[in-house]
Amino acid sequence: MPALVNSAEGANLVDLWLLYALAGIGFAWIFGLAGRFAFCHTTLMAVGAYTAAYAATHDVPFWGAVLAGTACAALVAALVGLALARAQHFAFAIGTLAVSQIGVVVFSRSGTFTGVNGQVHGVPFPTVFGYTLDTDRDIFWLLLAFVTLALLLGVFIRRSPLGREAVAARDAELVARTAGVPVRRIHLTLFVLGSATGGLAGALLAHWQGFVGIDSFGLDLGIGIFLMVILGGTHSLWGPILGAGFYVWAPKLLSGLDEYRAAVYGGLLLLMIMLCPEGLTGLAARARAALARARDRSRTKEGEHA
């Protein structure tokens, strides 16, 4: 890891930032691009984590375990998406909420697959080209590589016919259906892709921590991923990354406030949403536009004085 941090805690937070950014990118494809809210995103992250943990503890190599976790999350998402294919936006959200509740019960009771009380220990660290990544500074590069690949895939999706049709279906679904856009297929495709990315994040989390617990994928994380995408900006590729950074680092920066930290953090979130509803990327765009206008005015004044 480059000299971004000078402590073990800081290195851990950087890795957590990248992991949440990866999960947020997947959720952004579902929510920001397709316009569908899925409560079960963390449940599918858990599917990826438990599948990878099960495979790894049964002597499957790291890459095979991660691939199995990602594929299993994609398969479950496909089944859920097909079952809810006819559901409108609100009904789809309620349906995915039901899936998340079912997942909590299954993970906590399925002892053979998910361990006693949903806890799996002894997941081996990632091994890449014969080198074991057993420290936060080592696994940084692995997480950074996966985030980079997810960003590149996001660029491809947004510039492809799938991305353009998804935007049309999101902004004017009735018009898109009238024009022959396969709205259901688009929603299902983005839901599966986003959920598979969440499953990948869960699989990487299992190998990084060496432990999987049902509490790691609760409602708090689901709300947190939603906040990451909203705070970062739903219509930008960089939104989930900026939002994840804010979500991870803001509580750390406010740690000196002790008992008032939660209230200050909540107030800061509220101000962000009120004053900058388009997210941090929208704020940056407004700042660039203001600077451009200032430069134009300066050049105009220089031309008048010339």
Record the pTM. 0.88
Residue scoring higher pLDDT (305 or 110):
110
With a CB cutoff of 8 Å and minimum separation 6, the contacts of 171 are none
Q: Is 233 left (phi over 0), alpha (psi -120 to 50) or beta?
A: left
Q: How far apart are CA 198 and CA 196, in angstroms?
A: 5
3 has pLDDT over 50: no
**Which residue do the tokens 């089944």 mark?**
79
Query: Which ranges constitute the DSSP H helices of the chain?
Result: 8-28, 41-56, 62-83, 89-109, 111-114, 136-159, 161-171, 173-178, 183-209, 219-232, 239-253, 261-275, 279-305
pLDDT in tens, 185-196: 999 999 999 999
pLDDT band at 68 (very low <50, low <70, confident <90, very high): very high
- Return the DSSP state at 233: -
259 has pLDDT over 50: yes
At residue 8, the pLDDT reads 73
The residue-averaged pLDDT of 131-135 equals 89
Sign of the alpha-carbon torsion through 87, 20, 156, 284: positive
pLDDT in tens, 142-175: 999 999 999 999 999 999 999 999 999 888 888 8
With a CB cutoff of 8 Å and minimum separation 6, the contacts of 89 are 35, 36, 37
The β-bridge partners of 132 are 127
Q: How far apart are CA 146 and CA 123, in angstroms?
A: 20
With a CB cutoff of 8 Å and minimum separation 6, the contacts of 97 are 39, 40
CB 22 within 8 A of CB 146: yes
Q: How far apart are CA 91 and CA 75, in angstroms?
A: 21
CA angle 41, 104, 136 (to 5 degrees): 60
